[in-house]
A and B are shown apart, each in its own frame.
Chain A
Amino acid sequence: MLEASSLCVEFGGVSALSEVTFSVAEGSVLGLIGPNGAGKSTFIGAASGVVLASAGTVTWRGAPLAGRRPDQIARLGIGRTFQHARLFPGLTALENVMIGSHLAGRSGVFSAMFRSRRWRKDETLLRNAALDAMESVHALELAHRLSEDLTAGQQRLVSVARALASGPSLLFLDEPAAGLTDAERHLLAADLKQYFATHEVTVLLVEHNLGFLMSLVSDIVVFDRGTVLAEGTPAEIRSNRAVIDAYLGADHAAR
């Protein structure tokens, strides 16, 4: 279970997150929505070691995440995407995703130098993990294309594959559908639904596209101006007055 308890994040006197408390049940997919600047990405930053929390805690299976380095958090089995794809330039899509499967491998400098059998096994493992991840988002045909030659949507797909490549048990997806065409979005939603159904993974999904989000999540948390505004099922959220005023708008309430 992912648990945030009175989590506060301050940037130079400005409170980006204030007393944020909620939890994500093991194996479930929780949607995180809210207006821009509400603190959604800041929360992911705090939970992934990129942003420093000023107070409160966020724990994964009881282990505190605040204060750990990003690579230490990754080693706890936590993966994430960024608001921008942030692929490594000059490398192919497959190489990018293979870097994502880094933790699945163990070979270091010495076995690399002498190309030992252990190294070969390791490389095959890393490569297969990467290929599997790319296959699960239908990105295999992009494998040998350079990352900077891909469209924004394709880059985003590859970045999702990169996060999946290490087989994380907790996944933070930060607007994975942004910049995708309608067709790409539908395909990604289906792919992620399939992935979540076949893998043991807990997911926190930040997304503005509510259609995309609703097809994947069982519960929703709404952020507004750094605090939790509401929690509940999609239906409850849609009929929540405060949420409608702050974010959804009247036309969503009608549905």
Chain B
Amino acid sequence: MMLTHSDAPAARTSGASSTETAIGTARVERLVAWGWQPAAIVVWIFVATPLFGGSNVYPLLVLAGIYGIAVVGVSLLAGLGGQMTLGHAVFMAMGAYASALATTKWGLSPLAGMALGIAAALTLALVTSPILRLRGWYLAMATAAFSFLLQQVLVNLRDLTGGNNGIFGIPPLSVGGFEVTGEKSYFIFSWAAVLVLFLLGRNIARSRFGRSLTAIHKDTDAAATVGINPARAKAVLWLVAAVPAAFAGSVFAHYSAFIAPTDFAFATSLLLFLPVLVGGERSIFAGLVMVTVFMTTSAYVTQTLTTELMEAIAVIVICLLSPHGLAGLASTALSRLRAIGRRDA
């Protein structure tokens, strides 16, 4: 998604009018290139409710929007930054539990709960940032471990989190005097948030900071040579990516009115990461499309994404992420078998 402005030294054309046309066309092209994705999201917001409202799929589209908020962050982290993150649901959990506790136990407003959730997520991100020294496969494993660790923490801090029973009775989201109630309102709210975050995220990608992340991702040593501090840039990105996830978690809590540790399990982290992996590292928009696809296809599979299915996917993902991929695992296994064969001969 690197934007290359087409305003290189302009070709000299004969006559002022043809140059003007060329400039005009270039402007339109740039406008379209800039605007088609946000426009698509706007169209989606208007069109989806009349089309799918009331059907089985609609609640899944709301959830797609909520997860989509987090996916913007994951897209920057894993796509642009190339940082494997199989534990991003942890940050959603920060937002969700903060909002839940704030509004059910501590008598705070939903907005205060959101702020608390974001602060908690940022703190956690800051504390865990040393993990970014790991790369690739090892980072993937470490972030996956986060998911499992979080489950344990949420279950064991029973007094705070309600353990496995979770927290229920979370009031709807209200901003100022306005309350967000009903599927349709949450659909519009979450997808509008997706639109805003998409634009902010894209702005980040197409900037000095975004370029430095790409440079670090492609050739860390060469990037350092031009003055980019890889550790610091990755840490900033880690923090930045935690914020939309926390926000998404808060919205989830208010939408669902009930949260439990299983809502933020490894499966959820995969749901945030796989759309980015499949959608491609260069496009936030593709990640958003893929998370919607993932959520809706589960409606046409008779059950929702079951634990068994997610675990199967996890195994596949892990194989794919292994240092030399699936093929590498196979050739390692093959060479080991051959070695055994030779030894016996």
Beta-carbon contact of A114 and B222 below 8 Å: no
CB neighbors of A among B1-40 (8 A): 2, 4, 6, 8-9
CB neighbors of B among A44-81 (8 A): 48-50, 69-71, 74-75, 79-80
Beta-carbon contact of B224 and A98 below 8 Å: no
Beta-carbon contact of B209 and A48 below 8 Å: no
Using Cβ atoms and an 8 Å threshold, which residues of chain B touch A144? 4, 6, 8
B179 lies within 8 A of chain A by Cβ: no
Name which residue of chain B comes closest to A49, CB basis: B224
Using Cβ atoms and an 8 Å threshold, which residues of chain A touch B6? 144
Known A74-B225, A99-B226, A102-B228; judge A112-B2 contact (CB<8 A). Answer: no
Using Cβ atoms and an 8 Å threshold, which residues of chain A touch B226? 74, 79, 99-100, 102-103, 162, 165-166
CB neighbors of A among B187-235 (8 A): 200, 203-204, 207-212, 214-215, 218-219, 221-230
B4, B207, B210, B218: the one contacting A88 at CB < 8 Å is B218
Known A88-B219, A109-B240, A112-B207; judge A102-B214 contact (CB<8 A). Answer: no
- Give the interface size class of chain B: 20 to 34
Using Cβ atoms and an 8 Å threshold, which residues of chain A touch B219? 86, 88
Min distance, Cβ A41 to any Cβ of chain B, angstroms: 13
Using Cβ atoms and an 8 Å threshold, which residues of chain A touch B223? 88, 99
Using Cβ atoms and an 8 Å threshold, which residues of chain A touch B218? 88-91
Chain A positions 5 through 17: 1 when the CB is less than 8 Å from some CB of chain B, otherwise 0: 0000000000000
Q: How far is the CA of A128 from the CA of B4 in the complex (A)?
A: 14
Beta-carbon contact of A98 and B4 below 8 Å: no
Min distance, Cβ B31 to any Cβ of chain A, angstroms: 16
B8, B207, B227: the one contacting A71 at CB < 8 Å is B227
Min distance, Cβ B162 to any Cβ of chain A, angstroms: 36
**Top 8 closest pairs, chain A to chain B, by CB:** A112-B207, A74-B227, A70-B224, A103-B227, A88-B218, A71-B224, A71-B229, A86-B222
B236 lies within 8 A of chain A by Cβ: yes
A113 lies within 8 A of chain B by Cβ: yes
Using Cβ atoms and an 8 Å threshold, which residues of chain A touch B209? 107-109, 112
Known A86-B219, A112-B207, A113-B204; judge A99-B224 contact (CB<8 A). Answer: no
A88, A91, A119, A166: the one contacting B227 at CB < 8 Å is A166
Known A71-B230, A103-B227; judge A126-B208 contact (CB<8 A). Answer: yes
Known A102-B212, A144-B4; judge A74-B224 contact (CB<8 A). Answer: yes
Interchain residue pairs with CB less than 8 A apart (19)? A49-B224, A50-B225, A74-B224, A82-B225, A88-B215, A88-B219, A90-B214, A91-B2, A99-B212, A102-B226, A102-B228, A105-B208, A108-B209, A112-B209, A112-B210, A113-B203, A113-B204, A122-B208, A144-B6
Q: How far is the CA of A90 from the CA of B214 in the complex (A)?
A: 9
Name which residue of chain B comes closest to A105, CB basis: B208
B8, B207, B214: the one contacting A107 at CB < 8 Å is B207
A227 lies within 8 A of chain B by Cβ: no
A95 lies within 8 A of chain B by Cβ: yes
Beta-carbon contact of B208 and A95 below 8 Å: no
A94 lies within 8 A of chain B by Cβ: yes
Using Cβ atoms and an 8 Å threshold, which residues of chain A touch B212? 99, 102
Using Cβ atoms and an 8 Å threshold, which residues of chain A touch B200? 113-114
